[in-house]
Amino acid sequence: MAVRVKICGITSPEQAIMAQQAGADALGLVIYAKSSRYVDIQRAAEIRAVIGPQTTAVVLLVNADEATVRQVIDQVQPDLIQFHGDESPAFCQQFDFPFIRAIRMREGLDIDAEVAAYRADAGFLFDAWSEDQYGGTGHQFDWSRLPSSRDYPLILAGGLTPDNVASAVSLVAPDMVDVSGGVESSPGVKDQGKVATFISNAKQAQPKSPIV
Domain with 120, as residue range(s), is 4-204
More confident residue, 212 or 189: 189
Judge contact between 211 and 175, C-beta under 8 A. yes
The active-site residue, picked from 8, 25, 92, 178, is 8
The active-site residue, picked from 40, 127, 132, 151, is 127
- For residue 61, the model assigns a pLDDT of 97
- The answer to whether residue 20 sits within a structural domain is yes
- The answer to whether residue 157 sits within a structural domain is yes
- For residue 128, the model assigns a pLDDT of 80
Residue 212 banded pLDDT, cuts 50, 70, 90: very low
d(CA 200, CA 14): 20
26-30/56-61 β-pairing:
parallel
How many angstroms from the chain centroid is the CA of residue 101? 9
Q: Say what the alpha-carbon torsion angle 3, 204, 54, 41 is, to the nearest 10 degrees.
A: 70
- The answer to whether residue 209 sits within a structural domain is no
Residue 147 banded pLDDT, cuts 50, 70, 90: confident
**What does the pLDDT look like over 87-96, one tens digit per residue?**
999 999 999 9
- The answer to whether residue 115 sits within a structural domain is yes
Judge contact between 84 and 120, C-beta under 8 A. no
- The answer to whether residue 19 sits within a structural domain is yes
Average pLDDT over residues 15-34: 97
Q: Which of 148, 95, 104 is nearest to 125 (CA)?
A: 104
Checking if the pLDDT of 172 tops 70, the result is: yes
Average pLDDT over residues 99-112: 85
CATH number of domain containing 172: 3.20.20.70
Average pLDDT over residues 99-124: 88
For 18-22, 89-93, 110-114, 177-181, which range has the lowest pLDDT when averaged over its residues? 110-114
Average pLDDT over residues 181-198: 96
Residues with Cβ within 8 Å of 38's Cβ and at least 6 positions away in sequence, in order, are: 30, 31, 32
d(CA 5, CA 85): 22
Total number of domains in the chain: 1
**Catalytic-residue membership of 8:** yes
- The answer to whether residue 212 sits within a structural domain is no
Helix (H, G, I), strand (E, B) or coil at 111: helix
Judge contact between 143 and 156, C-beta under 8 A. yes
Helical H segments across 22-108, by residue range:
41-48, 66-75, 89-93
Average pLDDT over residues 40-67: 98
**Catalytic-residue membership of 92:** no
- The answer to whether residue 211 sits within a structural domain is no
- The answer to whether residue 83 sits within a structural domain is yes
- For residue 24, the model assigns a pLDDT of 98
Q: Which of 90, 86, 91 is nearest to 69 (CA)?
A: 91
